[in-house]
Amino acid sequence: MAIDLTGRVAIVTGAGGGLGRAHALLLAKRGTRVVVNDLGGARDGRGGTSAMAEAVVDEIRALGGDAIADGASVAEPDQVEAMIGRAMEAWGRIDILVNNAGILRDRTFTKLDLADFRAVLDVHLMGAVHCSKAVWEIMRAQRHGRIVMTTSSSGLWGNFGQSPYAAAKMGLVGLMKTLAEEGAKYGIHVNALAPSAATRMTADIMPEAELAALDPAFVAPAMLALVADEGPTGTILCAGAGSVEAAHVTMTQGLYIGDGEDAADRLLADLPRILDREGALPLATGMEQPRYEVERHLARQGQPPRRAHG
């Protein structure tokens, strides 16, 4: 079954090159009108030019598609609102938002300036907040919307020298999970994509042989599946080099420790059992953890659990 997005309108941030360009081109090929957003700055976010976004628009138009370029900084909510206004004026609706814009200012935590930490959060995390907030009421009114957050393996599992990037990317997972819950009754699906791709962001931090296998075009199909009408919500997909996987935030079965003066000592002694991933629980929402723990506590008091887990 072919994914047909004819008549849809998409905004792709950071679409002047790399992943964003691949996303924008694939969306256009499937009939979507695309706002190609890119500030046009360097990898660290400094500077800016409209040339990159305009070049992608030219590519889309050469393929027979419809696109407009926009140089709004996602870190600036007023600029984002203006971008959304231009899209609505041009096409009257917004169906898809791919939050892809990002910068890197990698240093070890010891050497990192807090201003750089904030700058990375402002683009990756707050940029996604600004854009998602700006389209949210439009999508609610339409009773349809698709939002993709670009997370990262660095956020899901950590990476040396990338504390601000990792913090922002894991923050996007929490944002995605919550918005997926809140948007469900309005037909808004929200997902996250953790890409492995050769872009300006990874050009000098991965071996050349690996970069050759990580064409951004391998990642874009996962994005397309996430924004399809039949796509999921609340899902984290990982994609790169032709492979697609799912990532889950799980909780182990754990142990009942209780309280008492020696609670921490018993916990430390039993830590291997607490860390054991066998039978780990893929929780549906944040409330599942306290419910699980309260039911275990009640069971220890002789009261049967209200429902099964795992």
Whether 165 is catalytic: yes
Record the tokens describing residue 83, joined without a space: 């971008």
CA separation for the pair 14, 7 (Å, rounded): 22
CA separation for the pair 310, 303 (Å, rounded): 19
Catalytic residue from among 165, 186, 256, 292:
165
Counting beta carbons within 10 angstroms of the beta carbon of residue 177, is it exposed (0 to 12), middle (13 to 18) or buried (19 or more)?
A: buried
CA separation for the pair 156, 214 (Å, rounded): 19
Contact 247, 238 (CB under 8 A): yes
CA separation for the pair 280, 276 (Å, rounded): 8
Amino acid letter, 16: G
Contact 72, 82 (CB under 8 A): yes
CA separation for the pair 84, 56 (Å, rounded): 19
Catalytically active residues, by annotation: 165
